[in-house]
Structure 1
Amino acid sequence: MIHAPSPEIHTLGADIRALRKARGLTLSGLGKTLGRSVGWLSQVERDMSEPSITDLRHIASVLDVSVSSLFRSAAPEHERGMIVRADARRPIGSRPAGLVEELLSPDLTDDFEMVHSTFEANSEITEEVMRPTQEVGYIVSGRLDLWIAGKTFSLNAGDSFRIRGEAFRWMNPYAAPCVAIWVIAPPIY
């Protein structure tokens, strides 16, 4: 019987490297912004050095993610890098008022990420978002109004959408929350 090799266990360092690359930053550029040496940052990304909580706050700020998104889940060893339990999802993003996002992907090292988004009732973002990504979303429950490239769409449970680097914004003017699953490439959180 042939067994596939064990998948690499992804770590804090791998997540930081993936986020840095997704933002087009070099080791040198991020190190300079953080006031740290390339050697130190390289060791952090290879899990040879553990950053302090202050370092993590600075890294999260520069990479525009929440500090909590950098913390590893408490998954059992045999599940790490493969399984994300519903009660162990990592919160992500900057959380505009009324939006709660959780990472469904085990880590940030793939070519894409999956995000569970809950748009609270009567919430919205008023400024358009534009990012260099391709995104596909699926409305699991509720309703959501979405503006993509100046066009308005009202979405219901079961509907899906795609955004290819266009400016977009959302609004949930309805009485119930809207839950959506987003796939984003490359990872941005």
Structure 2
Amino acid sequence: MLGSRISESERCRLDRRAPPGVRLRVSMVECPAMPKGRIPRDRRRTRVTRLGLLTVGQTARVLGMSPSTLRLWENVGLVSPARSDGRYRLYSPELLDVLKRIKYLRDVKLLNLPGIREMLGKPAVSQPANGARPTDLGRKLRVLRKKRGLGVVEAAKRAKISAGFLSAIELSKANPSVATLQRLTATYGTTVLNFYDTRKQSNRLIRLKERRVIRTQSGVTMELLSAGARQLQSMIFRVQPGGGSGGSYSHQGEEFIYMMEGTLELWLDELESHTLRAGDSFWFESTVGHRWHNPSTLEAVLIWINTPPTF
């Protein structure tokens, strides 16, 4: 009955997937040997999935679009997926959030590629934002990791990401979300703001033109308001539609949010969900795991204060 339902090639595939030393003998013909050193495609995909990364085909299915569209967005510089040893494209959860936002800007806001690039905060592919250059971020993270005496696997484990994704970040082939960057800096005993040059800012007065800006690929812009303060950290967050933290994170201290414009959804320990709108204020302990997201079609603008400056 088995032989009447499956093809000869399928029988061979079943034989190859049997445990070492075991033959299922479902095939009636001699199956061609698997090339040495080659891992079956389904096993490669399983291994990649276990690392928290998706292939281009898997990512396309999640987003409901074609792989060719994903390749186009890569070719025009909107995204930069990591590559496996076999040069397969690999998409992290953080990059998936960016792709969802690009799809939203294309399908809902009806923006063309230049418009999408502008909304992502990337006026030119090679032009850096104020503060640290994006290409420096991976190098600085690698230096910090080595100073702490951590290997890639151990550092990734502590930051709750895959080793492959951390390697891609250090090689500037992938960009971390706000949550991932915070967890990495905490692992290395520093904070996010220490990655950006604030030495030229005065301790008390910061002019608008002096304000340092941090941009991420997940639709978030952070403007530093208090570079010289020792006991607090204040910023203006601008969160584009569909943008957010890209995951949950926690640290020491307390936080205060004042909503200036738009809407922000905030989750605490995955148990509480709060929707903040213009005029609302919110306080919580930083030790509680928190993630956030802009669910609306308008930019969210908020003042975010941490004390002490542990973000």
Q: TM-score, normalised by structure 2?
A: 0.37
Structure with the higher fraction of residues in helix conformation = 2
CA, structure 1 residues 161+183, in 2 after alignment: closer, same or farther (shift >3 Å)?
same
Contact 1:113 1:187 in 2 (8 A): yes
Contact 1:68 1:91 in 2 (8 A): no
The answer to whether residue 196 in structure 2 is matched with residue 65 in structure 1 is no
Deviations 1:93-119 (A, max 9, x none): x83611111210042x42111111111
Consecutive unaligned residues of structure 1, counting only runs of 5 or more, are 1-29, 36-60
The answer to whether residue 292 in structure 2 is matched with residue 170 in structure 1 is yes
CA distance in 2, matches of 1:183, 1:67: 16
1:148 to 259, 264, 268: 268
Aligned to 1:70, the other structure's residue is in SS state coil
Q: Which residue of 2 aligns with 1:119?
A: 239
CA distance in 1, matches of 2:195, 2:211: 11
Q: Which residue of 2 aligns with 1:180?
A: 302
1:101 to 222, 225, 231: 222
Q: Whose Rg is larger?
A: 2
Consecutive unaligned residues of structure 2, counting only runs of 5 or more, are 1-143, 150-184
CA distance in 2, matches of 1:123, 1:68: 22
CA distance in 2, matches of 1:125, 1:105: 21
Q: Which residue of 2 aligns with 1:110?
A: 230
CA distance in 2, matches of 1:187, 1:132: 9
CA distance in 2, matches of 1:82, 1:130: 28
Q: What is the CA-CA distance between 1:34 and the residue it aligns to?
A: 7.0
Q: Which residue of 2 aligns with 1:158?
A: 279
Aligned to 2:209, the other structure's residue is in SS state helix
CA distance in 1, matches of 2:259, 2:267: 15
Q: Report % sequence identity.
A: 28
Q: TM-score, normalised by structure 1?
A: 0.58
Q: When the two structures are aligned, how many residues end up with a matched partner?
A: 128
Q: Which has the higher contact order (CA 8 A, sep 6+)?
A: 1
